[in-house]
Structure 1
Amino acid sequence: ASTDAGIPGVYHHHLPQALPVFAVIAGLTPEAALRTATSAAAKGLGLGLVTGRLKPGLSADIVLVHGNPLDDLAVLAEPAAVWARGVEAKGLS
């Protein structure tokens, strides 16, 4: 999954809104769509041994949401909390 962030007018923070649309267009389950945005993306970039999964020793960013993204990817658009490399990000609201 990608938003092609880095090109003019496309920003990284749009992925939570774009992922549900991407899943429908690609015919993916929520689980498969999440995998494309996490472990499959890391593996495709040659970073599968460094990040992309929640596993001791790997670098990870974690998003806490209200609800289950495996039931509804839209819950990713309103995170309750975010941790980037083990440090809680502030100022979400």
Structure 2
Amino acid sequence: MQWTSIIVIYPLFWVMSAFFVLPFGVRTHDEAGVAKIPGQADSAPVRFEPRKIVRRTTVVSLILFGLYYANYVNGWITTDDINIVGKLAGV
């Protein structure tokens, strides 16, 4: 894999990981027992900590990209392994 491919693919893993990590560790005002501001959404977090989210996202994306790269190098799962249409058609 070329280094330019890594530069392009890793941010995709990072953004995907960000959406995966966002809901974890979030406490709403009702869960924390804090009064809400009028007009506030029920799902709004008590404290939004973007640095913590960025750190968690980076760790998760590094692990996922590491697994992707290891699979790319070692060929554990190939396109033939996930081609269920050809297997069903008997090809």
Superposition TM-score, scaled by structure 2 size: 0.23
- More helix as a share of residues: 2
Q: Determine which structure has more spread, i.e. the larger CA radius of gyration.
A: 2
- More strand as a share of residues: 1
Superposition TM-score, scaled by structure 1 size: 0.23
